Amino acid sequence: MMLSRLMSGSVRNLEREYMCTVRLLDDTEYTCTIQRDAKGQYLFDLICHHLNLLEKDYFGIRYVDPDKQRHWLEFTKSISKQMKSQPPFTMCLRVKFYPPDPAALKEEITRYLVFLQIKRDLYHGRLLCKTSDAAMLAAYILQAEIGDYDPGKHPEGYSSKFQFFPKHSEKLERRIAEIHKTELIGQTPETSELKFLQKAQMLETYGVDPHPCKDVSGNPAFLAFTPFGFVVLQGNKRVHFLKWNEVTKLKFEGKTFHIYANQKEDKKIILTYFAPTPEACKHLWKCGVENQAFYKLEKSSQVRTVSSSNLFFKGSRFRYRAGLVPSRSCPSITHGPRLSSVPRTRRRAVHISIMEGLESLRDSAHSTPVRSVSHGDSFMPRSRSQMTDSGDRTAIISDESYSPSDSVLPTPVAEHSLELAVSRQINGAPCSIEEEKESEAGTPSVGDVAEFGADSRAAGPMQIAGREAPLSEAEQVNKFVLSVLRLLLVTIGLLFVLLLLLIVLTESDLDIAFLRDIRQTPEFEQFHYEYFCPLRRWFACKLRWVGGLLINK
């Protein structure tokens, strides 16, 4: 008897726990046992403690559901409730919010983890750049990995043994080896990593976690959120760039994703794109609003719980996490022995983790105003700030088309014939990328990368915004009416359920004072004899008839 109780107790304990494996940025794994009701924050804290990581805000835990949709783990929710699969769970730690200036990070372990993440981005094609920049980045990695060139240890073609990019030519390999042999001699691994971060941070695709979509013309595009704003990549060009303080609202409906922005001279812009699936669109929206909160809000107290819709809980509701990006002026934080004193081979065994992003920002009319953080003064080197302020809206990002190999959803981008038809009816026929560039040629952009100067011939997302402004109010009125109707239907349904419950209670044998009072009223007696009793006899007759049929069979 006692043995059976002990065994049953052990089984119950096992059912309350499960194994969780987190793959770190150096491809090692951290495995732990988690209580079934443990929240995401508990797992994230375990990994940060394991890594001795203090600058946590840049990292998160990512997982993929059975439908191949990626998600960031939400820290305020139970892990088991977020995972759609059965334990044991497998997740990975990644950089979720890229530092605007990674070289300014206080902790060496944080810089090293960001270095590993950017190296992965380069390998998987997310950090796409011109050939000259690619050769320099690869040479820095080579110097950090193997040190100075040694003819005795490094035979001809030694750089080809390292896979820096999804694909590269022999010419690029020779250029990488040439830079490593001649320009980086004497650099320590720490210096090479720092130079790598500084070089990568200047690229147009730095911090890009691409989301595959299609524009209103059906052309494929990649949407991404960076430390500096929202970008759209098509082909080998960055076709749109909006600073975070210009984006007023992010919104999704099914597969459709909208970006609302205000630019100089009160120019309003609405960009519309279509995600492969509704889940992919929701993930895109979550990533967008959490990135905007992280880089735009100055205080955590400004974080609000919001939803993708305005009324009566339609859409998604959640509380996003706003991190405070440390500036150069903040004091250095130390913990235990400095990482510089730890052997490099030990630092190479670093593990990492990931987390989940959420939430949508309302447009400025419905939200409390927030003061934007001046990233140009606090984080960015002068060259990056100048480039961001004076660049053109359309920028060449590489010598080839942007096509990340291992960072996008495996699900195909579906054809959106219905969505495209509706969008064209509302917004007008959009122009192609070539027409947009032609219209832009006569209106040079000065002083701001996100300035969308275009003439009246362009019918792309810019003029979509101009014509859709009055329709947006009608859309809001329609949504309000639909929400009121939903509320009315729900109220009527609840009243009907309560009425049925009251009838059942009054016709029961419960001896409660307020039920006795109801039974003694003339109205109840009339209802009981004229309606309830005949209805009860009718139901009893039908039940006997059905019972007789079943018995005869």
For residue 2, the SS3 value is helix
Q: What is residue 367's predicted lDDT score, i.e. its pLDDT?
A: 32
Please confirm whether the linkage preceding 88 is cis (ω < 30° from 0).
Answer: yes
Confidence of residue 444 (pLDDT cuts 50, 70, 90): very low
How big is the CA angle at 141 (ends 138 and 142), to the nearest 5 degrees?
A: 85
Listing DSSP states for 366-432 in one string gives: GS---PPP-HHHHTS-HHHHHHHHHS-SSEE--SS----SSSS-SS-----HHHHHHHHHHH-PPPP
Confidence of residue 398 (pLDDT cuts 50, 70, 90): low
DSSP structural state of residue 23: E
> Taken in order 21, 59, 384, 222, is the CA torsion positive or negative?
positive
Confidence of residue 290 (pLDDT cuts 50, 70, 90): very high
Q: What is residue 546's predicted lDDT score, i.e. its pLDDT?
A: 86
> Which tokens is 167 given?
């694909």
As a whole number, mean pLDDT of residues 171-195 equals 93
| 38-91 pLDDT per residue, tens | 999 999 999 999 999 999 999 999 999 988 899 999 999 999 999 888 888 999
Higher-pLDDT residue of 12 and 215 is 215
Q: What is residue 250's predicted lDDT score, i.e. its pLDDT?
A: 94
Pairing assessment for the beta strands 211-215 and 220-226 based on DSSP bridges:
antiparallel
- As a whole number, the mean pLDDT across the chain is 74
b/e per residue, 479-516, with b = 16+ CB within 10 A?
eeeebeeeeeeeeeeeeeeeeeeeeeebbeeeeeeebe
| 19-28 pLDDT per residue, tens | 999 999 999 9
Distance between CA atoms of residues 309 and 218, nearest Å: 26
**Residues forming a β-bridge with 238:** 233, 395
Residue 260 clears pLDDT 90, i.e. is over it? yes
**Residues forming a β-bridge with 267:** 263
Confidence of residue 303 (pLDDT cuts 50, 70, 90): low
**Residues forming a β-bridge with 71:** 63
Other CB atoms within 10 Å distance of the CB of residue 456: 8
| 479-531 pLDDT per residue, tens | 888 889 999 999 999 999 998 888 888 888 888 888 888 888 888 888 888 88
Given a contact cutoff of 8 angstroms between Cβ atoms, the answer to whether 256 and 280 are in contact is: no
Instruction: Please list, in sequence order, all residues whose beta carbon lies within 8 angstroms of the beta carbon of residue 186, skipping any fewer than 6 positions away.
Output: 148
As a whole number, mean pLDDT of residues 461-465 equals 37
> Which tokens is 228 given?
């500096």
